[in-house]
Structure 1
Amino acid sequence: MGEQNQSSGKELQHRTRAETPGKKLWPSQAYALGAISNFMSTFLTFPVYKVVFRQQIHAVAVSEAVRQLWHEGPRYFYRGIYPPLLSKTLQGTLLFGTYDSLLSLLSPVGPHSLGQRWEAGLMSGVVEAVALSPFERVQNVLQDGRKQARFPSTFSILKEFNSYGFWGRLSRGYYRGFWPVLARNSLGSALYFSFKDPIKEGLEEQGLPHWVPALVSGSVNGTITCLVLYPLIVLVANMQSHIGWQDMPSLWASVKEVWDTRGRKMSLIYRGGSLVILRSSVTWGITTAIHDFLQRKFYTRKEFRD
């Protein structure tokens, strides 16, 4: 019975990879999966993210970051959640759909090589960075407690950005810190998509329930990716917290500033990393498991129709 489940799982996996290019590679189920799972994960883990963000900005301990949020009161507890809710919902739909489309262009018939998965993941991360960087920029300003009096709402931040000239809106406004965002997203997507399937396939051979390999694969990938790229996450948070024409350091000046304020110690760079890595592990584990489950149901129904 276990061997039958393994063979059927491998057959299903082969069919999903070998689909002919076109609309079949863009199932609406995959977009709905990404939207729902990312929306729920963002809402549930937002308090943890906000604590981590305060640590990244002020280099304080968890207790101090929690104390700051407690002192500000419940009114501001979920301040800044709307941009990440929207951006993460878009991220879930955009990331998986773009990756599948690019992978089909690189190799219409599977199985796909590690290099092809890496290249498609890298390019999908680029698309994600271009589309979603403005949302993250607004979110980071909103979550910085030092900006509450000057920018009490999302509208006030957008008004500030739109007061700049065209290039100012891009470089100092919506796309402040874009280059580290680009590096983080493209490398993160490449790592996730390159190793997600090999880990899942190895676990599937053990005869585990079909949702377990996907959950573990997503969690492991989320943990490793976040661990490797965490210094870029800290750099982005610090760069995007700046606003206005004054005191806007360059990329390299921002790198030096973060390094100096952390005492030139990598351990302080990773302060707050344990919580954000844990959140990334849970988020990507759930997302991967739901995506795999819905993908199986989609192709099962397709079999019945055919």
Structure 2
Amino acid sequence: MGWSPANSDKEQHQKDADPTAWFRKYKHGGTSSLISTLTTVMTFPIYKTVFRQQLHSSGFRETVAQLNKEGPLKLYRGVAPPLLMKTLNGTLLFGLQGTLLQRLSRAESILPGTVLPALAGLGAGVVEALIFTPFERVQNILQNSGNDRSLPTIRSILVRLRSENLAQGFYRAFLPILARNALGSSLYFGLKDPVSSALREQGLSPVASSFFSGVFNSMVISLPLYPMSVLVANMQAKVGEEKLGLRASAQKLWRARQCSLILLYRGGSLVILRSCISWGITTAIYDRLENRTN
């Protein structure tokens, strides 16, 4: 039988009735993200290449030459925060979205059932931004080679950030991160099951449909939200310099990119590639674990 909103809602109500469902979603979210951290390690050089392009607006060859000159040891400087973030992020994102969806299902008489996953994803994205902005701040400082001498270790970075107020220290660029994560999570959870179900109707296996659902969603999310990631990288990568606000930082970035969308999106194709691999695998593993316990 093909997928339909009515069938999906009935299945969701049955899942929500299970008192252990909330814990299972946290566990499966963390497990799928932990397994997919292998892709984080494998694709970290891609991520770092993109980060340098975001920061310096340099070409691909120029950026690769710069990283090659720094050597293999520094290539993976800054990999620890994303590895930790990946596992914790998956645990929180999938688990919290499931918890919020369970609570929101009680208001289904007011809101259409089809929008509840996206709304729950929006709430999960807000909490995600609150918790993980400090991780992203440390990660971006580590990946900026200009900080290698003054801030050589994670400990030195933490000491420096503690000396700043929250808005300029750990929570620098919080607003664009909040907008990016909330919108991204809402789109992901709003599209995940409908896209996967549509692909299964075309004859794809459950694992393949989940994987390509993750790939498709990552493309839809990454492309329009990429400029926010560029802005975040430029706001967070430096410490102790001019403390411009969000609007002034965005204007400075736009001028630095010569008011060109092409330059602003430099490195965007690599972000989409990395995101497709990571979220495709994560989605496939998560759905597989969920289906095995249902």
Asked if structure 2 preserves the Cα contact closer than 8 Å seen for 1:29 and 1:298, the reply is: no
Partner of 1:266: 261
Higher alpha-carbon deviation: 18-27 or 125-134: 18-27
Partner of 1:160: 160
**Correspondent of 1:107 among 102, 105, 108:** 105
How far has the Cα of 1:14 moved from its partner? Answer: 5.1
Partner of 1:23: 20
Tell whether 2:121 aligns with 1:138.
no
* TM-score normalised by the chain length of structure 2: 0.92
Amino acid at match of 1:283: S
Partner of 2:217: 221
Q: Distance in 2 between matches of 1:36 and 1:248?
A: 36
Partner of 2:40: 42
Partner of 1:97: 95
Amino acid at match of 1:25: W
Amino acid at match of 1:138: V
Q: Distance in 2 between matches of 1:65 and 1:276?
A: 15
Q: Distance in 2 between matches of 1:283 and 1:17?
A: 29
**Correspondent of 1:241 among 237, 240, 244:** 237
Q: Name the count of aligned residue pairs.
A: 288
Secondary structure, counterpart of 1:107 in structure 2: helix
Amino acid at match of 2:152: P
Asked if structure 2 preserves the Cα contact closer than 8 Å seen for 1:34 and 1:287, the reply is: yes
**Pair 1:75–1:13, CA change in 2 (3 A):** farther
**Correspondent of 1:201 among 180, 197, 201:** 197
**Pair 1:61–1:14, CA change in 2 (3 A):** farther
How far has the Cα of 1:15 moved from its partner? Answer: 3.6
Partner of 1:302: none
Amino acid at match of 1:24: A
Asked if structure 2 preserves the Cα contact closer than 8 Å seen for 1:142 and 1:148, the reply is: yes
How far has the Cα of 1:17 moved from its partner? Answer: 5.1
How far has the Cα of 1:58 moved from its partner? Answer: 0.3
How far has the Cα of 1:115 moved from its partner? Answer: 2.0
* TM-score normalised by the chain length of structure 1: 0.88
How far has the Cα of 1:145 moved from its partner? Answer: 1.0
Asked if structure 1 preserves the Cα contact closer than 8 Å seen for 2:105 and 2:113, the reply is: no
Secondary structure, counterpart of 2:275 in structure 1: helix
Asked if structure 2 preserves the Cα contact closer than 8 Å seen for 1:26 and 1:100, the reply is: no
How far has the Cα of 1:180 moved from its partner? Answer: 0.3
Amino acid at match of 1:50: K
Asked if structure 2 preserves the Cα contact closer than 8 Å seen for 1:34 and 1:96, the reply is: no
Amino acid at match of 1:83: P
| Identity rate, percent | 44
Amino acid at match of 2:59: A
**Pair 1:17–1:284, CA change in 2 (3 A):** farther
1:5-56 per-position Cα deviation (integer Å, ceiling 9, x unaligned): x79xx98995455321633232164144233134222212111000000000
Q: Distance in 1 between matches of 2:289 and 2:276?
A: 20
1:97-119 per-position Cα deviation (integer Å, ceiling 9, x unaligned): 00000001000599x72321221
Q: Distance in 2 between matches of 1:108 and 1:21?
A: 15
1:209-263 per-position Cα deviation (integer Å, ceiling 9, x unaligned): 111110111100001100010010100000011212x412111111001100000
Amino acid at match of 2:232: V
Partner of 1:288: 283
**Pair 1:252–1:204, CA change in 2 (3 A):** same
Partner of 1:230: 226
**Pair 1:131–1:21, CA change in 2 (3 A):** farther
How far has the Cα of 1:133 moved from its partner? Answer: 0.6
Secondary structure, counterpart of 2:168 in structure 1: helix
**Structure 1: 5+ residue runs without aligned partners?**
300-306
Q: Distance in 2 between matches of 1:109 and 1:183?
A: 25
Q: Distance in 2 between matches of 1:243 and 1:183?
A: 23
Q: Distance in 1 between matches of 2:218 and 2:13?
A: 22
Tell whether 2:184 aligns with 1:188.
yes
Asked if structure 2 preserves the Cα contact closer than 8 Å seen for 1:95 and 1:125, the reply is: yes
Q: Distance in 2 between matches of 1:40 and 1:157?
A: 26
Partner of 2:53: 55
Partner of 1:279: 274
Amino acid at match of 1:86: L
Amino acid at match of 1:26: F
User: Alpha carbon RMSD of aligned pairs, Å?
Assistant: 2.2
Q: Distance in 2 between matches of 1:97 and 1:255?
A: 33
Secondary structure, counterpart of 2:149 in structure 1: coil
